[in-house]
Amino acid sequence: MTDLSHTFAAAADKPLLQVKSLTKRYGARIGCADISFDVYPGEVLGIVGESGSGKSTLLSCLAGHMRPDQGEVIFETATGPRDTVQMGEAERRRLARTDWAYVHQNPRDGLRMGVSAGGNVGERLMAIGARHYGGIRDKAIDWLGRVEIDAGRVDDRPSAFSGGMQQRLQIARNLVTAPRLVFMDEPTGGLDVSVQARLLDLLRGLVREMGLSAIIVTHDLAVVRLLADRLMVMKGGHVVEAGLTDQVLDDPQHEYTQLLVSSVLQV
C-alpha cells in the first residue's frame, strides 16, 4: 500500500477525469450547463447545491447513466485518455465494472437484496473474471471486515441489515474490484449521525490507502468539509463557485455560496 502511494503521486500530474463543457437539458429546462473540471488521482471532489441544482444530473452524466447533450467526459483508461460519452455501450459498461464504482444514495439501488452479503461483494469480482470460489469468498470476507461487517454475517441477505450496514456493504461491493474513480450520490444521506461519522472515516482511510479518486454529491456541508479536497457549488444547473474546500466554506465569494454557508448551523 505504501508503494502504491508513490506510484499515484508520480501519476498525479495527469488528470484521471477531464470534463469539458458538459451540458444536459430536459427539453427546454437546463439539467446542468457548460460544466468543466478535472479530477486528479487520489483527489476527492465535492459537489454541493440544493435539490434541483443539477448535481445529480451531472453525476449521472459522468457515470454514463445518462447521455449528455454536449461535452466530453475524458477518462484516463489503462490504454490512454478516452471520451466516455462517445464510447460504445459495451465498453462503457466494462469501465463501470472495473475502473469505476457508483455508490447510490439508497443502498437498495446498489445492492442485490435477494443475494447474500458475501454474494453481493463476490458478484463484482466474478463480473471481472474471478472464478475460484474460495478466493472470492475470502476476498468478500476480507472486505466485509474492512467496512466493519462481522464475518458471521457473510451469508445473511442485506434485507436483514440496518441502513448503515447496507450502505457499508454497498461500499464494499463497489470497492472490492479496486476501482480508480468512485461516484457517490449522498453516501451518508439518511444515516444516523454516528453511522455517518464511521462511514466518513472509512471513506477517508480508503481514499488514502488505495489512492482512489472520488466525486461526492451531497447537500451536507459538514460532510464535504471533512471529506473533500475541492468543492464545486452548483445552482440552477451552473457551477457558481469552485475551489479549495475550506476556502469556499470559510471565505465564499459568490452570493449563493454565502447564503448557503450562512444558512447552516455550524460546519
Give the footprint of another protein on this chain (CB under 8 A): 2, 5-6, 9, 40, 43, 193-194, 197-198, 200-201, 204, 208, 225-226, 229-230, 243-244, 246-247, 249-251, 253-255, 258-259, 262
Secondary structure (H, E, C), the chain: CHHHHHHHHHHCCCCCEEEEEEEEEECCEEEEEEEEEEECCCCEEEEECCCCCCHHHHHHHHCCCCCCCEEEEEEEECCEEEECCCCCHHHHHHHHHCCEEEECCCHHHHCCCCCCHHHHHHHHHHHCCCCCHHHHHHHHHHHHHHCCCCHHHCCCCHHHCCHHHHHHHHHHHHHCCCCCEEEEECCCCCCCHHHHHHHHHHHHHHHHHHCCEEEEEECCHHHHHHHCCEEEEEECCEEEEEEEHHHHHHCCCCHHHHHHHHCCCCC
Smallest separation (angstroms) from another protein to the CB of 32: 21
Cβ closest to another protein, residue 6 vs residue 93: 6
Cβ closest to another protein, residue 20 vs residue 254: 254
Smallest separation (angstroms) from another protein to the CB of 248: 9
Smallest separation (angstroms) from another protein to the CB of 29: 26
Cβ closest to another protein, residue 43 vs residue 185: 43
Cβ closest to another protein, residue 136 vs residue 221: 221
Cβ closest to another protein, residue 7 vs residue 21: 7
Smallest separation (angstroms) from another protein to the CB of 242: 8
Smallest separation (angstroms) from another protein to the CB of 231: 9
